[in-house]
Amino acid sequence: MDKKPQILARHRLAETRLFRIESMDIRFSNGVERTYERLVPGGSGAVMMVAMFDDDRFAMIREYGGGVEDYTLTLPKGAIDLGESMRDACLRELQEEIGYGAREFIHLKKVSLSPSYMSGGIDLVLVRDLYESKLEGDEPEPLELVEWRLSELPELFARDDCNEGRVLAALSLVQQYLAGRYPGDPL
């Protein structure tokens, strides 16, 4: 099973402003052939941040999600612009979404939404040493900044309006990192 399947052909099935759907004809090492479909995001990647006000308090935002057609409690995040470094993307998105800049950025992990069906991923970053600084973003309405505490993660995770797998992942990694149990790379 460690021998990767062979990709026999790729086809573009559909493309819209935001999404591209591809199919891939695949032959596994045991000879079985399948046609897979997957989503290929455009752009240069994306970042999601846990921005700490102190050792316990961090920033969440309340934002409308068109996918679930409701407001959800999520972490500041955004696309990396073409030619922009991951650190610069974090610094820009933070100022646009919560009105803070920062001096310390620690990369924790790149996660995939669905390894089966989506290429690409999002980089999870811990951000510290914040200072007030505001940039105008492209949000259709102002985002509401909500403070939460790492010491109250279970209460957050139990909320119906906090329902994004990678948000739970990012916060759990930050908790492990701050406990000295997980590695991080300064950006």
By CB under 8 A, name the one of 115, 129, 134, 135 that touches its own copies.
115
Residues 124-183 that bind its own copies (CB under 8 A): 140-142, 144, 153-154, 157-158, 163-166, 168-169, 172-173, 176, 181-183
Task: Please tell me whether residue 121 binds its own copies under the rule CB under 8 A.
Answer: yes
Pick 50 or 101: Cβ nearer its own copies:
50
The smaller minimum CB distance to its own copies, of residues 19 and 53, is found at: 19
25 counts as binding its own copies under rule CB under 8 A: no
Taking the complex as a whole, how short is the minimal distance between the CB of residue 25 and its own copies, in angstroms? 11
| Long-range contacts formed by 158-165: CB under 8 A, 24+ apart | 159/73, 161/62, 161/70, 161/71, 161/72, 161/73, 162/60, 162/72, 162/73, 162/74, 163/68, 163/72, 164/72, 164/74, 165/113
Q: Does the CA dihedral 27-121-166-19 come out positive or negative?
A: negative
Q: Is 48 helix (H, G, I), strand (E, B) or coil?
A: strand
Pick out residues in 32-91 that bind its own copies (CB under 8 A): 32-34, 36-39, 62-72, 74
Touching its own copies, residues 92-111 (CB under 8 A): 109-111
Q: How far is the CB of 131 from its own copies (least distance, A)?
A: 25
Please check whether residue 49 is in contact with residue 94, taking contact to mean a CB–CB distance below 8 angstroms.
Answer: yes
| Of 87 and 177, CB closest to its own copies | 177
Report, in Å, the least distance between residue 8 CB and its own copies.
13
How many residues bind to its own copies according to rule CB under 8 A?
71
Burial label, 2 (beta-carbon count in 10 A; 0-12, 13-18, 19+): exposed
Whole-angstrom distance, CA of residue 88 vs CA of residue 85: 5
List the one residue from 9, 17, 82, 131 that touches its own copies (CB under 8 A): 17
| 37 in Cβ contact with 23 (< 8 Å) | yes
CB of 101 to its own copies, least distance (A): 24
